[in-house]
Amino acid sequence: MEKPQSFTFSVYTENNLGLLNRISQIFLKRHINVESINASESEIENVHRLTIVVEITEAQAIKVAKQIDKQIEVIKAFYHREDETIYRETALYKMPINCLYDGGRVQELISDTYASIVNVSKDYFVIEKTGKKAETTRLYNELRPFGLMQFLRSGRISVTKEVMDISSELTKLVS
Amino acid sequence: MPETEKVTGSEAVMKTLIAEGVNLIYGYPGGAIMPIYDALHGYQSKLKHVLTRHEQGATHAAQGYARVTGNVGVVFATSGPGATNLVTGLADAQIDSTPMVCITGQVSSHLLGTDAFQETDIISISTPVTKWNYQVTKASEIPKVLSKAFYIARSGRPGPVLIDITKDAQFELSEYAYQACTAIRSYKPVPTLQMSQVEKAAELINASKKPLIVWGQGIILGEAEQELQTLIEKASIPSASTLLGLSAIASDHPLHQGMVGMHGHLAPNKLTNECDVLIAIGMRFDDRVTGDLNRYAKQAKIIHFEIDPSEVNKNVYVEYPVLADVKQSLQALLPLIEENSHPNWLDEFKQLRKIEDEKVIQAQLSPTKEGLTMGEAIECINKATNNDAIIVSDVGQHQMMSARYSKFVQTRSKVDSGGLGTMGFALPAAIGAKMGALDREVVAIIGDGAYQMTIQELGTIMQTQAAVKIVVLNNEFLGMVRQWQELFFDKRYASTEMTNPNFVKIAEGYGIPAKSVSKRKELAAAIDEMIACETAYFLEVMVEKEGNVFPMLPTGASVSDVRLS
């Protein structure tokens, strides 16, 4: 049996109410858990782009991409293996203010991981780290003992490595 | 320039329906759709409305109408329970590719999300069972959204669409500007035919020594019956149908090998695993057709003529897809096909047919033991109608018997709930079928269990005088489940025995002439009497209680492991 791996779906769509629901139901129907999801504008005017990350086999990925592509308001759906994309996620870590001065370890972590402090207040401060999931998870594990107050990771955003002419292909489709 | 005038949203619905060629609507009114019904009242001469006795009945009636005419079936229902009652019919139409547009009323837009009376989120509920759905909150959207709905429902691989219209949008005045929808930038209904795929298919078919065609409903939806028949005859290819493809080719065509699948015919099932080229046309390799996929046509090169790219390689790996509208691809294929004959190969089908005749079919059609069989009742219907009725089946043993033994001379004559297997489908679907084909005899063949799931539609027959012939094959069991209990659950008949009412009295209560027969010598005359009747008619046939449908592929079996008993 083929092993599940991480696949990123890039779905170019019309910006219509209910479409996200329709696409997420395609995963639900096949008992596939969505690891991360991001909705954004795309490089083409009036075309939106969903980036969805799931753990499935390639055989499943091919079928799911066709099912998504088939939806009326989906302009085009692509799927990519992890190694075919350049991707990032952003994480925010809310920390108690005292740990910033408590021995300097937290400051070290911030500079070692190229994270940054985006907000400081009387009681807490907020660290932002952008990177791959493994990197934001590593920082999460390091910060936890210092009393992590809140943690949130964004959906994945990704672009493809190959010079795929998605844009020109899509521009043809939507023009 | 499109004409413009100010009308209410409800009137815009009527005008758009007429512009889309609609003249028949099935539905059930209620609070949130009252403005639309009020507008309908003024359009009665152009838009006939059939009041069903349940919204589910409206969907199946629309399906029956769509299946025999090829037109889009139209349904009205109110919000809340009216809308949720559509779900089964939507799911059925989605899986069987039936064009249908359902219009539901919704609470006023300012009440959305407040748990208002009869508010339900039908857009979310219907999403996985519709080809497209949309909620309208402004009257100005109606002409555009509805014409898009019809375009989507009928184009490419057809399917159901649901449009939910808030009550305030039904009242609101706006400029009416209709233009037929002819394209949607994000939707490609028909893939562009690639001649290279057709040429490869022709090459394989011409070189084949043991070709087998399995066709499905795509032939009927794509109106490619004539092209299919020419292909079959030109290259002399034995051919079999799926459940939903039945009637596309006349039953007595010498190359017609019957039906494939779980209760299909022995020869096409078994020889699926002997053929060298399997030509699948407008079918989707449903699990009820293929049995165990790991032992399905592994020796064969498989060609798949298909309109929906997501069906290619979904269940069966296909090396040679031909993606296009089937009429177009078959027309491109035919000139490349060489005349051929396969006498030895056809002989293999004949031999297996002979075995099936002796071991299964004779006992069904010419029984010697006492109890009536479903097969002999169906054979009497064939005789009484010269094989030229529209047969609408429900779901269960009687459905498989009808698929096996009903005969057809023209296309669009078999209406089934195939993919979803919806019990209760036949009675309302037969009403729709009759209204779509007034000049044809429509016979609903129903089991005693399924009949009682939508029996209230007798009221629709009473009110509309739809001359539907209803045959209930009564074995006082949920027969198909009972058969499985007998074969696979040690005869533990858990909740399958039925205590039934007096069906004749019920039909008579609705003013429908009715009769019940249980003796062989009365059967043919009763069926003749039913067919001769000019109005609707109800006939109950008491059949043997524990009859089984064979041949059979048990779940997980290969198509070559057919059980004959």
N-terminal to C-terminal alpha carbon distance within chain B: 68
- CATH number of the domain to which B213 belongs: 3.40.50.1220
pLDDT band at A170 (very low <50, low <70, confident <90, very high): confident
For residue B499, the Cα-to-chain-centroid distance in whole angstroms is 29
| Same domain assignment for residues B398 and B294 | no
> What's the fold here for domain A5-85+161-170?
Alpha-Beta Plaits (3.30.70)
B343 within some domain: yes
Domain at A87-153, CATH homologous superfamily: ACT-like. Chain A, domain 2 (3.30.70.1150)
DSSP assigned state of B563: B
Verify whether residue B55 is a known catalytic residue. Answer: yes
B563 within some domain: no
* CA nearest to A75 within chain B: B186
Residue A136 to residues A78, A91, A133, B321, Cα–Cα distance (Å): 26, 6, 5, 45
Active-site residue identified among B100, B259, B400, B480: B480
| Same domain assignment for residues B209 and B165 | no
In whole angstroms, what is the distance from residue A71 CA to residue A74 CA?
A: 5
| Same domain assignment for residues B309 and B412 | no
Tokens read off for B563? 């059980």
Q: Assess whether pLDDT exceeds 80 at residue A165.
A: no
Among B367, B365, B14, B342, which residue's Cα sits nearest to residue B208? B342
B361 within some domain: no
Instruction: State the residue for tokens 């002819």.
Output: B182
Beta-bridge partners for A41: A48
Are residues B135 and A17, on separate chains, in Cβ contact within 8 Å?
A: yes
| Same domain assignment for residues B345 and B418 | no
Burial bucket for residue A45 (CB in 10 Å: 0-12, 13-18, 19+): exposed
Predicted local confidence at residue A171, as pLDDT? 73
| Same domain assignment for residues B158 and B203 | no
ipTM greater than 0.90, yes or no?
yes
B323 within some domain: yes
pLDDT, mean over chain A: 92
Chain A residues close to B185, C-beta within 8 Å? 75, 173-174
| Same domain assignment for residues B24 and B150 | yes
| Same domain assignment for residues B205 and B165 | no
Active-site residue identified among B5, B6, B46, B117: B117
Tokens read off for B430? 């037969």
Are residues A18 and B152, on separate chains, in Cβ contact within 8 Å?
A: no
B555 within some domain: no
- Which structural domain range is residue B49 located in? 6-175
B354 within some domain: no
In whole angstroms, what is the distance from residue B282 CA to residue B489 CA?
A: 36
Nearest to B132 among A67, A69, A72 (CB): A72
- CATH number of the domain to which B63 belongs: 3.40.50.970
| Same domain assignment for residues B381 and B523 | yes
Chain B residues close to A29, C-beta within 8 Å? 128
CB neighbour list of residue B228: distance below 8 Å, 6 or more residues apart: B213, B215, B219, B239, B248, B249, B281, B330
Domain borders along chain A are 5-85+161-170, 87-153
Q: Assess whether pLDDT exceeds 60 at residue A129.
A: yes
| Same domain assignment for residues B343 and B387 | no
| Same domain assignment for residues B33 and B81 | yes
Predicted local confidence at residue A62, as pLDDT? 97
| Same domain assignment for residues B270 and B214 | yes
CA distance, residue B127 to nearest chain A CA (Å):
6
Tokens read off for B509? 């209560």
| pLDDT of chain B, 565 residues: tens digit per residue | 455 679 999 999 999 999 999 999 999 999 999 999 999 999 999 999 999 999 999 999 999 999 999 999 999 999 999 999 999 999 999 999 999 999 999 999 999 999 999 999 999 999 999 999 999 999 999 999 999 999 999 999 999 999 999 999 999 999 999 999 999 999 999 999 999 999 999 999 999 999 999 999 999 999 999 999 999 999 999 999 999 999 999 999 999 999 999 999 999 999 999 999 999 999 999 999 999 999 999 999 999 999 999 999 999 999 999 999 999 999 999 999 999 999 999 999 999 999 999 999 999 999 999 999 999 999 999 999 999 999 999 999 999 999 999 999 999 999 999 999 999 999 999 999 999 999 999 999 999 999 999 999 999 999 999 999 999 999 999 999 999 999 999 999 999 999 999 999 999 999 999 999 999 999 999 999 999 999 999 999 999 999 999 999 998 999 999 999 9
- Domain stop point among B145, B175, B205: B175
Instruction: State the residue for tokens 């009715």.
Output: B514
More confident residue, A114 or A171: A114
Are residues B128 and A25, on separate chains, in Cβ contact within 8 Å?
A: yes
B433 within some domain: yes
Are B323 and B312 in contact, with CB atoms under 8 Å apart? yes
Torsion of CA B437, B439, B440, B445, to 10 degrees: 70
- If one counts the domains in chain B, the total is 3
Q: Count CB atoms within 10 A of the CB of residue B493.
A: 14
| Same domain assignment for residues B227 and B82 | no
Chain A residues close to B128, C-beta within 8 Å? 22, 25, 29
Chain A residues close to B124, C-beta within 8 Å? 18, 21
